[in-house]
């Protein structure tokens, strides 16, 4: 569904990501893990069109979208749940969800909204409350709901576990798992490697803007290299020659 080849993004003279190649097949749940500042968000923002690329290709459903503006990428069927959720606290839950569908027809939004509230009963209960009154976990659900209203084929998520209690992280990931089982393709980036890899099918590991490893989730979980990348530790106690 999504194929990124040798993508590079610079912020001024700084290489944010270099030669990043990843692919996500239809129906897959793929996680990109790495420590702070490794380039995870840059990759998502670049797929979404929020930051310009320097080099490389972003092919979505056989089309190179790397020159399209963000709003047209949404109409291709990509949707992003940004880092820190970014909900509108002074609007109601329902208004927040509607905001995600501003490019769609009213009738489509209404019918999709029923479906989404059915999937997130907690939001249904609080549909008239101000979003700022929700708990962190509920806000994350709301952010996902807002992304789903445009009926995307590919859901991008930035750090879904950020700032959430472990139990709530589990709840969020279980919802994502259910969405995957309903046919949604998911690509998320996450510092919380263990949580992400527990639910994802495959994973990529990013370090200093480069993908240094990839594989099935269970392979990555057992890998010491991952612990190193994830913890940002540089332990290189090689056998002394």
Query: Which one among 63, 86, 222, 232 touches other proteins, defined by CB under 8 A?
Result: 222
Interacting stretch for other proteins, rule CB under 8 A, among 43-51, 145-153, 185-193, 216-224?
Answer: 216-224
Q: Is residue 239 a contact point for other proteins (CB under 8 A)?
A: yes
Q: Is residue 92 a contact point for other proteins (CB under 8 A)?
A: no
State both tokens at 225. 């290299």
Q: Integer distance in angstroms from the first to the last C-alpha of the chain? A: 47
State both tokens at 233. 């530790």
Q: Cβ 191 to other proteins, closest distance in Å?
A: 19
Q: Are 16 and 209 in contact (CB under 8 A)?
A: yes
Q: Which letter, b or e, does each residue of 94-131 get, where b requires 16 or more Cβ atoms within 10 Å of its Cβ?
A: bebbbebbeebeeeebeebbeebbebbebbbebbeeeb
Residues 181 to 210: which contact other proteins by CB under 8 A?
204, 207, 210
Query: What distance in Å separates the CA atoms of residue 157 and residue 44, rounded to the nearest whole number?
Result: 8
Q: Is residue 11 a contact point for other proteins (CB under 8 A)?
A: no
Q: Is residue 36 a contact point for other proteins (CB under 8 A)?
A: no
Q: Is residue 177 a contact point for other proteins (CB under 8 A)?
A: no
Q: Cβ 1 to other proteins, closest distance in Å?
A: 12
Q: Cβ 187 to other proteins, closest distance in Å?
A: 14
Q: Is 155 exposed, middle or buried (0-12, 13-18, 19+ CB in 10 A)?
A: buried
Q: Is residue 63 a contact point for other proteins (CB under 8 A)?
A: no
């Amino acid at each position: 569904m999504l194929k990124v080849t040798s993508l590079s993004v610079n912020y001024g003279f700084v290489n944010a990501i270099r030669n990043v190649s990843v692919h996500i097949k239809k129906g897959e749940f793929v996680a990109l893990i790495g420590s702070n500042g490794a380039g995870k968000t840059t990759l998502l923002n670049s797929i979404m069109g929020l930051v310009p690329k320097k080099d490389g290709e972003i092919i979505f459903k056989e089309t190179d979208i790397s020159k399209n503006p963000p709003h047209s990428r949404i109409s291709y069927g990509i949707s992003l749940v940004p880092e820190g959720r970014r909900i509108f606290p002074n609007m109601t839950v329902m208004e927040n969800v509607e905001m995600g569908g501003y490019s769609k027809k009213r009738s489509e939004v209404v019918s999709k909204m029923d479906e989404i509230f059915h999937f997130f009963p907690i939001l249904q209960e609080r549909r008239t409350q101000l979003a700022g009154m929700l708990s962190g976990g509920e806000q994350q659900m709301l952010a996902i709901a807002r992304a789903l209203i445009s009926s995307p084929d590919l859901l991008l998520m930035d750090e879904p576990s950020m700032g959430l209690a472990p139990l709530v992280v589990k709840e969020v990931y279980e919802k994502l798992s259910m969405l995957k089982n309903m046919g949604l393709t998911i690509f998320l980036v996450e510092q919380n490697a263990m949580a992400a890899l527990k639910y994802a099918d495959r994973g990529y590991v990013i370090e200093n803007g480069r993908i240094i490893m990839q594989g099935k989730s269970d392979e990555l979980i057992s890998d010491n290299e991952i612990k190193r990348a994830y913890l940002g530790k540089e332990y290189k106690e090689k056998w002394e020659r």
